[in-house]
Copies of this chain bind each other. A is one copy, B any other.
Amino acid sequence: MISVDRADLAFQLFDALPTASLGALPRFSDYDRTAMNEVLDTAERIAMEHFLPHAAALDLNEPRFENGKVVMDPQVGAALAVYREAGFFGAGFDREWGGAQMPETLRGAVNFIFSMANTSTAAYPLLTAGAAHLIASFGSDEQKDRFMKPMIEGRFFGTMCLSEPQAGSSLAELTTRAEPRADGSYGLTGNKMWISGGDHEMSENIIHMVLAKIPDSPAGVKGISLFIVPKILVGVGGALGARNGVALAGLNRKMGYRGTTNAALNLGENTPCIGYLVGEPDKGLSYMFQMMNEARISVGLGATALGAAGYRASLLYAKERPQGHLPGNWNPDSSPVPIIEHADVKRMLLAQKAAAEGALALLLYAAFLVDAIKAAPSAEASHDSRLLLDLLTPIAKSWPSEFCLEANKHAIQVLGGYGYTLDYPVERLYRDNRANSIHEGTHGIQAIDLLGRKVMQENGAGMKVLAARVMADVTQAHTHPELAGHAEELAAHLGEAVATTGKLAGMVGIDPRLGLANASLYLDMMGHVVIAWMWLRQATAALRKRGGEDANADFIDGKLATCRYFFLYELPKARTQRALLDNLDDTTLTMKPEWF
């Protein structure tokens, strides 16, 4: 039932964004539009033929912990072998290291396709790429050669090891220790928790990127260092040696996302656990933020893919399932209509389309910013794009995690009782998606990141960049008379959101507890404004195509109607939330634990 809407993907990449223009840059000279389409064709073929078919079976038969090892459906490894053969493990990496040097925007579309088909299987290479990218950015050439290169080749997989059983959201409370050893390496001891892809037998090795504290380092987050900790020690020339002291303590059994192992790991419990310092001591958290920011975008994209998968599945069902009559037709002998004719079913499909395609537009926009930053001739030239990407990252992670989950809830509802059964994929998508507002920083952590940090950067310069880009698109939209109302509405919302931001940011400086008390609502509010922007961009791009050679009138009308849906049914909620935010409401703050 799940299928990729290639027409929408092409529209998002090439009409709503100038992705094709990236091919003119030296770094991406291999990627003209034809080459990009070929990459998407390959991704779609592998996703549909090798990832999708085992998604339901993997969920029913999750990885098991047996005799200290992970036993997993062999179809996962087989699918990833095909993925590896096609070169996707190294998609974003430099040619110099064996990568395909693909633009991030295209890679985002590729990841979207694989995550739609099977989010659990797709997670392994995404985690590997994030870990390898950390080494690419901060590791030594020797570390790149020894650990990163085999990851780019897809022979080694990777993980990120931040959390511990007692410290999830609060990294200041990490207790894993790293003692210097005579040979310059470190001996690690501690327990890591929630490690996605933390153990399995699918790769020659697993490279864990581990946060730990070196003795006598400062307390809190300023004393955290980053280490490469291989599952199997790697000798000179890449020869695999002995097992390192990273022991699988157990697998977490989850409500969804079950095909991606999630492990508790013990470091240095019985066998010494050897780690290699990346970069300088005590800078681990700042390094890890690069990976976390990537991972956050990746989580947002995964949430979006699940939303899109549910939308496509429920759309197909709604077109094919006959039931009921339209209001006003009281003739009991008339034939039932396909349920897509019912207004309430259309509402649930519109809500899904608005969430999934609105979120996809944002995630690809963020990826395009990454490409723009990479392609910029200087740090100065990319300054604004970096600020905007920083600002958008918590929104790009959180909005899809919240509202594409809501979309999955609607997908179940469209199928009725059938949607609640294991015979259809929609209940699985809903379970899978529930992880996304928890991992890689919870919704509440993203909210504090946005309001307590990102909107403050450089005296609010990020908000100014955002406002300028939104207003440029508002001006564009005004060239189409039928979008004038939406354009005005977005401009009004933007102005109000900026005012609310100023008020809250000011209070964060005076009384951070009061200023941040409703940060989660602020995050959702800003998300709605940003997604409205994305819909106005899409509507504008759709109207630009009207009357053109490759114009599909139904497609264009669908974009316009969904834009209207978002502006009328969703965006007004942002104003309701701003009323509360502007009042600096302290209900949550003054509530006492003993009153519950």
Q: Which A residues are closer than 8 A to B by beta carbons?
A: 163, 166-170, 172-173, 193-194, 218-222, 252-256, 315, 319, 322-328, 332-333, 336, 338, 340-347, 349-350, 353, 409, 412-413, 416-417, 419-423, 427-428, 430-431, 434-435, 437-439, 442-444, 447-448, 452, 508, 511-513, 515-520, 554-555, 557-558, 561, 564-565, 568-569, 572-573, 575-576, 579-580, 585, 587-596
The residues of B that contact A580 with a CB separation of less than 8 Å are: 568-569, 572
Do B346 and A588 touch (CB < 8 A)?
A: yes
List 9 A-B pairs, Cβ < 8 Å: A169-B323, A169-B324, A172-B332, A253-B422, A327-B515, A340-B593, A342-B444, A346-B593, A564-B587
Interface of A is mostly: helix
The residues of B that contact A518 with a CB separation of less than 8 Å are: 343, 347
Do B332 and A421 touch (CB < 8 A)?
A: no
The residues of B that contact A422 with a CB separation of less than 8 Å are: 253-255
Q: How many copies does the complex hold?
A: 2
Q: Which of B319, B344, B448, B520 contacts A588 (CB 8 A)?
A: B344
Closest B residue to A219 by beta carbon equals B332
Do A327 and B438 touch (CB < 8 A)?
A: no
Measured between alpha carbons, how far is A343 from B511 in the docked complex, in Å?
13
With contacts A346-B591, A587-B565 taken as known, whether A168 is within 8 angstroms of B416 at the C-beta atoms is: yes
Measured between alpha carbons, how far is A592 from B560 in the docked complex, in Å?
12
The residues of B that contact A423 with a CB separation of less than 8 Å are: 252-253
Q: Which of B417, B420, B594 contacts A163 (CB 8 A)?
A: B417
Q: Which of B219, B417, B444 contacts A344 (CB 8 A)?
A: B444
Do A350 and B591 touch (CB < 8 A)?
A: yes
Do B573 and A587 touch (CB < 8 A)?
A: no
Measured between alpha carbons, how far is A198 from B38 in the docked complex, in Å?
52
The residues of B that contact A447 with a CB separation of less than 8 Å are: 344
Do B420 and A435 touch (CB < 8 A)?
A: yes
Do A587 and B568 touch (CB < 8 A)?
A: yes
How far in angstroms is the closest Cβ of chain B from A441?
11
How far in angstroms is the closest Cβ of chain B from A563?
10
Do B438 and A323 touch (CB < 8 A)?
A: no
Measured between alpha carbons, how far is A564 from B576 in the docked complex, in Å?
16
The residues of B that contact A173 with a CB separation of less than 8 Å are: 323-324, 336
Closest B residue to A220 by beta carbon equals B332
How far in angstroms is the closest Cβ of chain B from A525?
13
The residues of B that contact A591 with a CB separation of less than 8 Å are: 346, 350, 561, 565
Of the listed residues A168, A327, A420, A513, the one surrounded by the most CB atoms of chain B closer than 10 A to its CB is A420
With contacts A327-B516, A593-B319 taken as known, whether A417 is within 8 angstroms of B557 at the C-beta atoms is: no
How far in angstroms is the closest Cβ of chain B from A131?
20
Closest B residue to A594 by beta carbon equals B554
Of the listed residues A315, A422, A444, the one surrounded by the most CB atoms of chain B closer than 10 A to its CB is A444
How far in angstroms is the closest Cβ of chain B from A260?
12
Measured between alpha carbons, how far is A341 from B592 in the docked complex, in Å?
8
Q: Which of B194, B220, B417 contacts A194 (CB 8 A)?
A: B417
Measured between alpha carbons, how far is A323 from B173 in the docked complex, in Å?
8
The residues of B that contact A163 with a CB separation of less than 8 Å are: 417
With contacts A323-B168, A344-B588 taken as known, whether A572 is within 8 angstroms of B576 at the C-beta atoms is: yes
Measured between alpha carbons, how far is A150 from B24 in the docked complex, in Å?
81
With contacts A219-B332, A344-B520, A575-B576 taken as known, whether A568 is within 8 angstroms of B585 at the C-beta atoms is: yes
Closest B residue to A319 by beta carbon equals B593
Measured between alpha carbons, how far is A513 from B345 in the docked complex, in Å?
13
How far in angstroms is the closest Cβ of chain B from A330?
8
Do B431 and A416 touch (CB < 8 A)?
A: no
With contacts A512-B328, A592-B557, A596-B558 taken as known, whether A417 is within 8 angstroms of B336 at the C-beta atoms is: no
Do A596 and B349 touch (CB < 8 A)?
A: yes
How far in angstroms is the closest Cβ of chain B from A261?
13
Q: Which of B416, B430, B438 contacts A420 (CB 8 A)?
A: B438
The residues of B that contact A253 with a CB separation of less than 8 Å are: 421-423
Measured between alpha carbons, how far is A173 from B168 in the docked complex, in Å?
53
Measured between alpha carbons, how far is A325 from B221 in the docked complex, in Å?
13
Known contacts A172-B332, A315-B596, A568-B585; can you find 9 more A-B pairs with CB under 8 A? A168-B323, A168-B416, A340-B593, A340-B596, A346-B588, A346-B591, A349-B596, A565-B588, A572-B576
